[in-house]
Amino acid sequence: MTTLDDRPVLIAYDASAEAQAALREAVALFGDRPLIVVSVWEPGLATMTMMAPAGEMGYSRLPDPADAAAVDRAQSDHATDAADAGARLARELGATAEALAVPDSVDVAETLISIAKERDARAIVVGSRGLSGIKARLLGSTSRKLLHDTHHPVLVVRAP
């Protein structure tokens, strides 16, 4: 069992201005702890977005598997690059940080919760995009879901 002093802090990171603000705040508040900079990517998203519209008979055409695999690889590579960049920024700011790029399991929030449990994280830090109205309802809110579904402390940081 780990002690309180060495439990890591998990930071959701996608290289956006909001994620950068969250990372900077996490370093300021938790810089004495190890940080895990996590970028989550969505496997299979290519298959869903590349499906042809239903034709006359109501059938959809599935995308070419090679094209879908190429899009998944590109998403995975982007997540790896983002996590690496976030960990590098945290280290430049004086923290100890590791990068972690992972495919989502159910959704981004559930994936972060799972990693936080697995790593016995002290807290989860996320940036807030501040979506409201219809966009928030349609796209969901990772920070809202984290606040509702995890027992870990959650810090939501709004970019200036």
Instruction: Tell me the average pLDDT of the chain.
Output: 84
pLDDT digits (tens, 9 = 90+) for 39-72: 998 887 655 554 545 555 555 556 677 777 888 8
Residues facing residue 97 across a β-bridge: 35
H-assigned helices in the chain: 17-30, 45-49, 65-92, 108-118, 133-139, 142-149
Grouping H, G, I as helix, E, B as strand and the rest as coil, residue 52 is coil
Q: Is the pLDDT reported for residue 113 higher than 80?
A: yes
**Separation CA 48–CA 62 (nearest Å):** 9
| Domain architecture of the chain: domains with CATH | 4-158 (3.40.50.620)
Global pTM? 0.81
pLDDT of residue 138: 45
